[in-house]
Structure 1
Amino acid sequence: MDLIARISRQFQDNTRATLDALEMLAAPIAGAIEIITASLLDNGKILVCGGSGSSGDARRFAAQLVNGFELERPSLAAFALSADASTLAPLAGDPATEGLFSRQILALGQPGDILLTLSPHSGSPRILEAIGSAHERDMRVIALTGADGGATAELLGPDDIHIFAPATRTARIQELHLLILHCLCDGIDCLLLGVED
């Protein structure tokens, strides 16, 4: 096996996926930045959840809003739903854990808050129930998905934002999601701090 060639293909695939995504995703990312910033300025909060492997990215995004990204600024109100071990513990033994995020949203979510979901696969029951609960609480949803969005896209309302990574491989989708999250952090900071370039 030629490992160097295999590694080169990974880099090339990543670059292609990123460039393919740029034109189609710039506008929805900008829209997401604007609604998150508006919510934060109106004393709203951002609730974030990720399905399976995306839960780490959800926690990281919330931490970057609270602790800062690349610019010095006050903490922003964000919470990763997958980070609260004491809340999740009672559900851990329950095989029907679809309500894992939903219950937290119903307890914490308020009108004007934002739910941001991350899932490379479109049919995660936890994510679908989370979106339903956010709508119950009059929250807007920003959903990061894979190429088609499937069941997730079908649940989104006209005021929600769907940002789909135009890729089919899970690794490429997750790489694009991380880039999108960094764009969100940067854009939010720039709007809040009045940075022009």
Structure 2
Amino acid sequence: MVLNELKDHQNIIQKVIDTLSGDIEAACEMIISTIKSGNKVLLAGNGGSAADAQHIAAELSGRFIKHRKALPGIALTVDTSALTAIANDYGYEHVFARQVEAYAQPGDLFIGISTSGNSPGILNAFDTATQFKCKTLGLSGRDGGKMNGKCQLNIIVPSDITARIQEMHILIGHILCKAVDDLF
């Protein structure tokens, strides 16, 4: 069982290398230009994708590999008072869009993470980020879902298995953080 899991993981990594290297490079350019411009990175996702959003935000505001200045990476998944108030008053599908509306400035980068690419809350947040003239980056899987039409770049992990998609999302997140580290 263990060997099969590792081989499955290896196969997905090879597919990512073969098909997504250019998209990941473009995503690195998006985050680099955002940071160089003095703008911030807003991130959101649900469940495991929320954990990934928080992980990437922590690598930006804390550090990834080397000591550098703290950078504005904000996970929109951590304020339970905002999440529950917005969900109660507007519906769960608006918990991230309302926060994007509160925090976004033109030139910021919104990263939405959804393994299916169809999370209503993430889709609404992309709409709001676009209205606020933010750059938009999606991390998804399967066929990319409705995120394909909602963000400037949707990196679609070529898998239908949620665990494999999430593993690749955090790998891509770490590559983005390495690109940021290389600025300093």
**TM-score bracket for this pair, using the shorter chain length:** over 0.9
- Output one character per residue of 1:147-166: Cα deviation in whole Å (capped at 9) or x when no partner: 3112110223xxx2111111
Please give the per-residue CA displacement for 1:148-191, whole angstroms capped at 9, x wherever unaligned: 112110223xxx2111111110011011111111111111211x
Aligned to 2:164: 172
SS in 2 for 1:82: coil
Aligned: 1:41 with 2:36: yes
Moved beyond 3 Å, runs of 4+: 91-95
Identity %: 34
SS at match of 2:133: coil
| Other-structure match for 2:113 | 118
Q: Which amino acid aligns with 1:186?
A: K
Cα shift readout 1:56-106 (whole Å, capped 9, x = no counterpart):
110010000000101111011110000112211313546831000000001
Point out the more displaced range, 102-111 or 18-27: 18-27
Q: CA RMSD in A?
A: 1.3
Partner of 2:69, secondary structure, is coil
Match of 1:31 in 2: 26
| Corresponding position of 1:182 | 174
2:73 and 2:10 mapped to 1: Cα distance?
A: 30
Q: How many residue pairs end up in the alignment? A: 184
C-alpha deviation, 1:23, in angstroms: 2.2
Q: Which has the larger radius of gyration?
A: 1
Structure 2 residue 74 is matched with structure 1 residue 82: no
CA distance in 2, matches of 1:124, 1:148: 13
Q: How far off is 1:53 after superposition?
A: 2.2
Is 1:67–1:75's contact at 8 Å kept on the other side of the alignment?
yes
* Pair 1:107–1:94, CA change in 2 (3 A): closer
Residue of structure 1 equivalent to 2:132? 137
> Which of residues 39, 45, 51 is equivalent to 1:50?
45
**In the alignment, residue 105 of structure 1 is paired with which amino acid?**
V
Counterpart of 1:3?
A: none
Letter in 1 for 2:108: D
> Deviation at 1:25?
1.3
Deviation at 1:52, TM superposition (A): 2.6
Matches within 5 A, 1:100-119: 100-119=95-114
Equivalent of residue 8 in structure 1, options 3, 10, 16: 3
Q: Which runs of 5+ in 1 are unaligned?
A: 1-5
Counterpart CA distance in 1 for 2:91 and 2:47 is 15
Gap regions ≥5 residues in structure 2:
none
**Structure 2 length normalisation: TM-score?**
0.95
TM-score computed with the length of structure 1 as normaliser:
0.89
Match of 2:149 among 138, 148, 154: 154
